[in-house]
Chain A
């Protein structure tokens, strides 16, 4: 069975600062990894995904994540935060049967 741990339920950053959201996973098979974003009163939107191949994955809105098998991590970063990045972010893992196991989520606040 797979599981996801997101370190930090709340992250506060200044506008223009680095955004770093941490995600560690456990999976018995090579995982598929995802980051989703949820804006208030909306559904989940896919930011990026790792399936196979290049371990540095670029997504929408300037986000990227790096798959590190040795550390079982898939941390999400964005070099410069924007006010519009304020949202809740979920890391998720799938072991190939397509159902997703989500982390508890990290709420990002951006300070002007």
Chain B
């Protein structure tokens, strides 16, 4: 158990819909990262937040957005969903004492768009 929690575990929705994925980082970690894992693209970095502020952006679509709240949990919002958005979405956290450059991954949210 990494200490990172993600909800929901599975999400099935239709094209054109909007969903929100939630992540709670490990206690003490200030950074949250979002990654997408798909068969054709592999594991891709989407976005990073540090203590509530956006720090880095990767291959994140304009239809996707994220935020980190004062209690440090984060949400990834995916809108106008397409079939190709079906993937496993991971959250990771880092920045705790002694592990500043090591990321701890949650179990992921499997999104299926029908």
Contact = CB atoms under 8 A, between A and B. Distances in A.
Interface string A27-44: 000001010100000111
Contacts of A43: 2, 4, 90, 105-108
Size class of the B contact interface (CB-based, 8 Å): 20 to 34
Given A43-B90, A43-B108, A105-B42, A100 B103 contact: yes
Q: Which secondary structure characterizes the binding site on chain B?
A: strand
Nearest to B45: A99
A105 B43 contact: yes
B79 to A, nearest CB: 23
A97 B90 contact: no
A44 B42 contact: no
A102 interface: yes
Contact of A46 (B4, B56, B102, B106): B102
Contacts of B100: 98
Given A51-B101, A97-B56, A102 B43 contact: yes
A22 B2 CA distance: 26
A112 to B, nearest CB: 28
Interface residues of A, number: 22
Contacts of B102: 34, 46, 49
Given A43-B2, A51-B101, A99 B43 contact: no
Most buried by A among B104, B105, B106: B105
Given A98-B31, A98-B94, 16 more contacts: A43-B4, A43-B105, A46-B102, A46-B103, A94-B101, A96-B101, A97-B55, A97-B56, A98-B33, A98-B48, A98-B100, A98-B101, A98-B103, A99-B48, A99-B56, A99-B58
24 contacts: A34-B102, A43-B2, A43-B107, A43-B108, A44-B90, A46-B102, A46-B103, A46-B104, A51-B101, A90-B43, A94-B101, A97-B55, A98-B48, A98-B94, A98-B101, A99-B33, A99-B48, A99-B56, A99-B58, A100-B45, A100-B92, A100-B103, A102-B44, A105-B43
